[in-house]
Each structure stands twice: as C-alpha cells, then as structure tokens.
Amino acid sequence: MARKVVAGNWKMNTFVSEGIELANKIKVADLPSDVDVILAAPYTHLYALQREIISYPVFIAAQNCHTHESGAFTGEISPIVLRDLGVTQVIIGHSERRSYFNESYEFLRDKMIAALKVGINPIFCCGEDLGIREAGKHKELIAEQIKSSLFQLSDSQVKKCIIAYEPVWAIGTGVTASPEQAQEMHAFIRSLVADKFGPEMAQNISILYGGSVKPGNAKELFSQPDVDGGLIGGAALDADSFLSIINSF
C-alpha cells in the first residue's frame, strides 16, 4: 500500500523567520498519523528548520541537490551536507528546474543516485506542458521522462522514491487537472512502474499530484484511487490552507 504524502514546495519564498513560523504552525497541529508531511524549504532555511522541527511525521526536504558530494562546484549544494542537516527528501526534476536550468534526463538521474547514496529519498517530478497535452503527446512525454531518469535506477533505489505528476499547465496557474485527468495519468504512471519493476513496487510507490492543489479541490483529487497525495506550491505557504490539504484524505 502506497504511503499518503503531502509535500509543500516553498520554492524561493519566505524569509527564514517566516519559514520557521510556518513550520511551527504545522508541527503543533493535530496531524493525521497516516500522512507523511514534507516541507521542501529553501536551502537557507534548512539549518534553522532542523533545529526547530524534525520530528515524525514532519520531514524536511530540499528542493534540489548536486550530483557531487564536494568539490569545485561554486554555488551548488552537496547532498551529504543536506543529509547532515537532517534533510530526508529532495525534489528532483521539478519543471522549473527542467525549463529554467535545462536539467537533462541524465543529470536528474545522477542527482537521484547521489541523493540516495547518502540516504536522501528523491521526489521525482514529471509533467507535460500545455502544447504537449494539446498535441495528445502527454503520455509519451511522461513515459520518456520517467524511463530516461527514474527507471535508470535499481529496484532498491526506486523503492525509496516518490513520483510527483505535475502538469506544467497547472503549476501556479490556478488551473487544476480534473480528478479524472489526474487519475488517468497516475494510473498510467503506475502501469509503467508495474511493467518495469513488477506489481508490488507499483502498488507501494507513492504518486503525488501537483498543480494548483487548494483546500477546495484536494479532497476530490486525493479520492482518486491512484492519487496518493500532493506536491503543493502556493497553498503550502499558508499554514491553514496546507493543513486543510493534509486533512483532505
């Protein structure tokens, strides 16, 4: 059975003090014991958050990491240092990184391998833009994204990953995929995992939906059989909205 997960992606938002306040509101709330709550904060916040939070079921994530643990990579962030800060998950392949920073399939694969090596579990994002969807090529692209990066990992590595399906046309736009559209894509992704790694892996891997999830639409999305939770952007910046989404299963 796949774990239920709600992950908040704060992106490049909040001052450190605001992030701590937000995290504290979530930490002290009455959280459902069967939902893993993940806060993907900016790097600048992680040290402070680790000291404030870190208690199950709230996990701290990074929004990216590098492929190397140390060396001449000015401005990059080492996965082993993230681990040392108490980070347990990392978002890899967010569409903003794919498009603004031209991250290739191979680079994403290598980042996941580097994260897993130090004990950080990837949240691997995939998703199509509007043009691809309108051309009816969305399944083809998602299969390519997954096969070229995630499926390059071993069984034991994939077991530790979460997949997030995030249609780019729904991210930060206020337009959400319909529950039927989300379900169709999640079932498709699960079938890809089953074909490659077998039915048990497919049943147990959490597949999150991301793209304008709000308190008003989370319940319907999360009630779909193959939607195991959400990756939340904008609505994760407001404690009440995020808590309402966490309680939407």
166 part of the interface to ligand PEP, by CB under 6 A: yes
Residue number with CB closer to ligand PEP (38 or 120): 38
To the nearest 5 percent, what fractions of the chain are helix, strand and coil? 50, 15, 35
Three-class DSSP labels, 22-86: HHHHHHHCCCCCCEEEEEECCHHHHHHHHHHCCECCEEEEECCCCCCCCCCCCCCCCHHHHHHCC
For strand 35-40 and strand 4-9, is the pairing parallel, antiparallel, or unpaired?
Answer: parallel
94 is catalytic: yes
Task: Tell me which of 94, 96, 128, 186 is the catalytic residue.
Answer: 94
By CB under 6 A, the count of residues binding ligand PEP is 13
Q: Which stretch binds ligand PEP (CB under 6 A): 48-56, 134-142, 147-155, 205-213?
A: 205-213
Residue 52 · residue 24 · CB < 8 Å = yes
- x-or-dash string of contact with ligand PEP, 210-239, rule CB under 6 A: xxxx-----------------xxxxx----
* Minimum CB–partner distance for residue 11 and ligand PEP (Å): 6
168 part of the interface to ligand PEP, by CB under 6 A: no
Residue 28 · residue 59 · CB < 8 Å = no
180 is catalytic: no
Closest residue to ligand PEP, Cβ-based? 233
Residue number with CB closer to ligand PEP (9 or 67): 9
Residue number with CB closer to ligand PEP (19 or 211): 211
- Residue 123 pairs in a beta bridge with 91, 162
Active site residues: 94, 166
